[in-house]
A and B are shown apart, each in its own frame.
Chain A
């Protein structure tokens, strides 16, 4: 009944998803064979979720989220539809993502406009688990939220969901010195985006730019190496100590052999800045 009374959000554009980064060559993990779901009685958990004890409701939400039984997920959706106290809603939203289903997006969007920033942040964070255009629009939109907590969640979600439409607002937030956006941009940057970031020199705080470029440099999946060289050269322009520290981190994290031009370039810059560490 509730689903019929509730409305979904407005029509959305179809934002593109960034291509996933090239996977690093790693040995395939050996996964244990899945166990058959354990049949447990959900009724006590559902009762607790809808009860007046918030702590018990939060624990119940977590338990229902981990449950493999279909009824558990529906119980979470029903509780969210009927309305939950903020703390319980946060737990329920996180629990939903344990077994994402397309129908969740409408519920998450509804809570993404909640009065309490903590709830909004949880909803946005959860939306990152859904490869859905509406979810991506909501994530990009949350970058404009006046609450820093929500913007940080949106930046994290944009990185996790590789939301292309989030790049421009995150560049603007980078200009305001927002660390979450620096980290998110670094996480999703390809060589083109890295170049665009390098071009922000002078337009964004040095420390934020150094952080973003430094994090890209350290990504194992970022390359080829000439792209890293470009980043090192961009970092060489940044006078802030943060750039020097990021280059040192890169040097520490990268073996000398086989020789890598980007490392050699970084070493030159770092030596020039510090006198070789003396």
Chain B
């Protein structure tokens, strides 16, 4: 409904307005992390923004009905990415970086990361990225991926060791080449 009231009678609406502001604050805080995660999952910056935005829209629609909005957001974002990967199969989008102003070796390293992440099994990739891109605890990751902490520990272990193996040729000890 559309409410038009005089200033003094606005108190009744304040609560819903504040709820809206809460959503905006949460969206502002979480958006970057959601995009980082989705980008690592999907190997495409633009698709990542689409997915993260969709996750935020879903939270917006469900606002007030979720006990833990953040957990809902992480889970939704992860599920959207996993669904996306299921539809897309193992192919990854063509080379993402074409900015000539970046040195070649930097572009190559980033491209290697993009491809290395795509080598991981989707759930391993998701677990690693929830940790590295969004900084979640193992328990939060378990909630987002609906798995036990033991499984998460296992996936992150396997995923990170695989990344280490794939990426070591592109980085020198203690500093990125």
Q: Is B truly associated with A?
A: no
Binding site for A on B (CB under 8 A): none
Binding site for B on A (CB under 8 A): none
